[in-house]
Amino acid sequence: MSEVTDDATEPTSDVVPLLVPRDGVPDVITTAAGVADAAAALASGHGPLAVDAERASGFRYSARAYLIQLRREGAGSFLLDPIPTAQDLQPLAEAINPLQWVLHSADQDLPGLAELGLTPAELFDTELAGRLAGFERVGLAAIVERTLRVELRKGHGAADWSTRPLPDAWLNYAALDVEVLLELRDAMEAELESQGKLEWAKEEFEYIRLAGPPKPKPDRWRRTSHITSLKTTRQLAAVRALWQAREDLARKRDVSPSRVLPDSAIIDAALKDPQSLDALRSLPVFGGPRQRRYSRVWMDALEAARRLPDSELPPKTPPIVGPPAAGRWARQDPAAADRLTAARAALSDLSKEVSVPVENLLQPDLVRRLCWDWKLEPDSDITEVESAIETKLTSGGARGWQRTLTVPVLAEALNSVVPAEPEAEEPES
């Protein structure tokens, strides 16, 4: 769940603090019998289902759920430990999968829940609803305070939820996360309806529901902190080898990679290029008691990088997939740079007009690809221009409501860009 941010406003006199769940904190379900009882109770309830999941990001490698919170009118709230019950969830899936789920920032929790066979038939995302409604602050606490006049205090969202037993204060926090979600859903639905945006939201919710987990980005090892301090491709190969060894070890142990070996140690080893175990252990971090047991793993990675032929060394810069960085466009393709400037200005104006953030109107990467790949000449037939934009946006995954809003303004913007005249060459003296 989203944390209260530093810019949270002080609660006013009509805001009521919510400190404990109205029915108390339920016991954590840890048995197959408990799952079956919860499933029966939830099946007998009515209306949508409030859902939240607590993960251990920053502590564990996986995105698995370590606690699941559920609430439905007529049934009450439930806290489920999915670790001991992972093989016993079929009754729960049968009870809740046909329902509409209400989550805040659903894309964070849906992948881990899907791993357990729990997937919604319909979705309502209160965080995304806030974005589409034009709310400046869309954390759960901020939206709850604004719409329900309730102060929802936070504080344990970044905790290690793989801890067992879970502290009572954490369980209280977890139960509160679903306490007001159903009321918040109704308030946000009414808000979107009043703004004429409810159908937009439904398209977005369905897109998120079906999206699945994000695809891993290529060459993730290049995101190692301070990698730009390296000078040679051989050093980059060492980083790549150490990063992959760390990744394999982290996955096997289900520990966050940064807790297996910090980025700073990877960079240091690539720079110092130790030739023996003793030399490796003389480096900061590698000589510590927790690292010494894996010294052979790290040394094997470094030796493998040293043995690589030059033809297999990674390039200093990754191969470009798609458009280059926008900052280079003015030099590489001035016309594309002008198109991007015009498109961004048009979308910015549209964003203000409909009170929807620009990034929710269209994915920024899709806008860049549209402007970079554009082939039509200025002042082309407007129908042809709109058709070309519609095709590009559709192939890029833009939803119907997004295309309806953005195609006309993008068509006008792109069709009005006149390529700059080439600068005249200086006459020879």
pLDDT tens profile 302-332 = 999 999 999 999 999 887 778 988 989 999 9
Report DSSP letters for 194-262, one per residue.
Answer: HTT-HHHHHHHHHHHHHH-SPPPPTTGGGGSTTGGG--SHHHHHHHHHHHHHHHHHHHHHT--HHHHS-
Buried b (16+ CB within 10 A) or exposed e, 378-410: eeeeeeebbebbbebbeeeebbebbbebbbbbb
pLDDT at residue 7 tops 70:
no
Residue 102 CB coordination number (10 Å): 29
> Average pLDDT for residues 111-121, to the nearest whole number?
96
Work out the end-to-end distance of the chain between its first and last CA atoms, rounded to an integer number of angstroms.
69
CB-based contacts of 291, cutoff 8 Å, min separation 6: 261, 265, 281, 285, 298
Which domains are delineated in the chain? 16-211 (3.30.420.10), 222-312 (1.10.150.80), 326-415 (1.10.150.80)
The conformation of residue 62, written as its DSSP 8-state character, comes to S
Amino acid at 13: S
Three-state DSSP state, 152 = strand
pLDDT tens profile 369-413 = 999 999 998 888 999 999 999 999 999 999 999 999 999 999 999
- Report how far apart, in Å, the C-alpha atoms of 109 and of each of 55, 64, 104, 114 are: 8, 9, 9, 9
pTM of the entire structure?
0.88
